Structure 1
Amino acid sequence: MFNSISNQASKLISLTKRNSQKSKTKLITITSGKGGVGKSTFAGNIAYLLSSRGFKVAVIDADIGLANMQVLFDIKPKYTLFDYIDGKGTVEDVLLQTAYKDVFLVAGKSGYRYSNYSNSFVFARIVQDIISLNKFDIVLVDTGAGLNDYVKEFLSISNNILAVTTTDPSALTDLYALMKMLSKDKEQLMLCFNHTKNYQIGDTISNSLINLAKKNRLNKNFMVKYIGNVSTSANISTTGRLRKLFSFEFRDDDSTRQLQLIIDALLRNIK
């Protein structure tokens, strides 16, 4: 397990795995390492496209203290993740129906003082509680940027991790740091590129990262699977400013079709 995870966390991880086997719900954690790569936009649009295929989806905004998913879904939440943690609302209270059928959001809260919860592993418990409801097909966790303890907490309980990155050198540096960390405890990392001109560019960079991992002797049983790219599109930024999902507003856009291919690969690889 990650070095920062306590014995209490390890017990929760074991519980999550056991209960996940009893539940139909699949857990997918979306992360990035670096901020500003479009991870939350990816998460929101993936949720909608999954729902359009008949899946019932819950999205958890796990960007602790810097939440923005409620903006993307244009929701003013009455209850947030922290209301559940503080005992001010039930798990049903914090599962907010969005404007999109079968897409629910557990909103975060920007600027919230969360220092009291450091290393307490309370955030991951809500993931387990939602899985235990057995009413969703997929739970998507949208983590914050970086590799702080809160991000590690959500990564530690998931076997299905999707990293979103760009070709920016600093984003790739952070991605490799994520690979190094996950290789100690996980079997695979799915990888997709945002703002990338074509599929081949992402494939070439992914192979370079895999070769670097081999050179540095990361766990040889750890697999990095490149599952696709999304090109830059003005429609993405426009719909974001309007608090709408580009995959809903522009269903025939190249970016939407590329994201559909990513979802095809994601569904083939999740456990």
Structure 2
Amino acid sequence: MKTRIISIASGKGGVGKSFVTLNLAVELAVQRKKVLLIDADVGLGNIHILVGKNPKYSIADLMEGNCKLEDSLMELVKGNLKILAGGTGFKKMFHMSKEKRSNLFKELKKIQNKFDIVLIDIGAGINKDVISFLELGDEVILVTNPDITAVADAYSLLKSIVNVHTITKNIGVIINKADIDLGEKVFEKLKNVSEKFLKTKLKHIGSIDENRKMAYDSTQKRLPIYYLSPSSKFRKEFYNLSVKIFYNKELHDSKNVSIVTKFMRFLGVDG
């Protein structure tokens, strides 16, 4: 089975993208899927913080050639989930040069067929590095919330995705901090403007209702929702989304893109 690579992005910070990504990764791993979670927010990563880990190496070390992929991964969920940290506290701005991109891509090639699914938690906003990591994915999941500025920024990111990609992308949307009805309304607005102005069809993966207390407790205790409250409605929502992402063929019927083509795009070369 071919390893699926999903890039998960948001138009702005604060929508809960990393929290959602981590909990989806845990749910998939609990179902005995082999999952790799890459924190691609280089220098500002927080996935390792959310699980209370202190990584020896980060994605920056991998790009600088200071370590190998197998030495840089943290393990959770009985080894079914492995995490590559984004790193924090850099003394200077991290620049993702072509050489560093090449180092990372060479290491990531090793995961072919070793994982069922790879989730790339991409830094918020729109910049060259964000677009590069989007190019690595076979699919894109956009996380937003009902806040009008979050939806506007999500649309701006969609425009960048559509303008940059030369292939048809499967773009799914998760509405965070919204019940089913509100989530449907927010998605329909985003869907309609995307179809009208970008000629792009979006897929609604689902919504996650807001639970401030449980989300707060999860981050403070460094425990994903599955471990914090396994029988809760909040946890069930993450489980349902993980099942839909993994098994719904509509979300992963994209054309296969060769590893060479991905390499060229990640390096910023037309190919």
- Write out aligned runs for 1:140-219 (5 A): 140-184=119-163, 185=165, 186-196=168-178, 198-216=179-197, 218=198
- Specify the alignment match of 1:29 in structure 2: 7
Distance 1:240 1:109 in 2: 18
Relative to structure 1, is the Cα distance of residues 99 and 215 closer, same or farther in structure 2, using a 3 angstrom cutoff?
closer
Q: What SS does the aligned partner of 1:136 have?
A: coil
The one-letter amino acid of 2:70's match is E
- Specify the alignment match of 1:76 in structure 2: 54
Percent identity reads: 29
Relative to structure 1, is the Cα distance of residues 54 and 116 closer, same or farther in structure 2, using a 3 angstrom cutoff?
closer
Relative to structure 1, is the Cα distance of residues 107 and 46 closer, same or farther in structure 2, using a 3 angstrom cutoff?
same
The one-letter amino acid of 1:141's match is I
The one-letter amino acid of 1:214's match is E
- Specify the alignment match of 2:75 in structure 1: 97
1:62 aligns with 2:37: no
TM-score by length of 2: 0.83
Distance 1:92 1:43 in 2: 22
Distance 2:102 2:122 in 1: 11
Distance 1:167 1:191 in 2: 12
Distance 1:25 1:84 in 2: 21
- Specify the alignment match of 1:228 in structure 2: 206
Cα drift, residue 187 of structure 1: 2.6
The one-letter amino acid of 2:65's match is G
Deviations 1:92-151 (A, max 9, x none): 111222365411111121132565634527347535633533321111111111011111
Q: What SS does the aligned partner of 2:33 have?
A: coil
Cα drift, residue 91 of structure 1: 1.2
Relative to structure 1, is the Cα distance of residues 26 and 188 closer, same or farther in structure 2, using a 3 angstrom cutoff?
closer
Greater Cα offset, 142-151 or 127-136: 127-136
Cα drift, residue 87 of structure 1: 1.8
Q: What SS does the aligned partner of 2:11 have?
A: coil
- Specify the alignment match of 1:245 in structure 2: 224
Distance 1:125 1:146 in 2: 24
Distance 1:61 1:89 in 2: 16
Distance 1:124 1:141 in 2: 17
Deviations 1:229-264 (A, max 9, x none): 111112121111111101222122112111222122
Distance 2:96 2:109 in 1: 23
- Specify the alignment match of 1:38 in structure 2: 16
Relative to structure 1, is the Cα distance of residues 123 and 100 closer, same or farther in structure 2, using a 3 angstrom cutoff?
farther
- Specify the alignment match of 1:10 in structure 2: none
- Specify the alignment match of 2:263 in structure 1: none
Deviations 1:203-235 (A, max 9, x none): 12211222222332x1x3x32011111111121
The one-letter amino acid of 1:215's match is K
The one-letter amino acid of 1:65's match is G
Relative to structure 1, is the Cα distance of residues 165 and 208 closer, same or farther in structure 2, using a 3 angstrom cutoff?
same
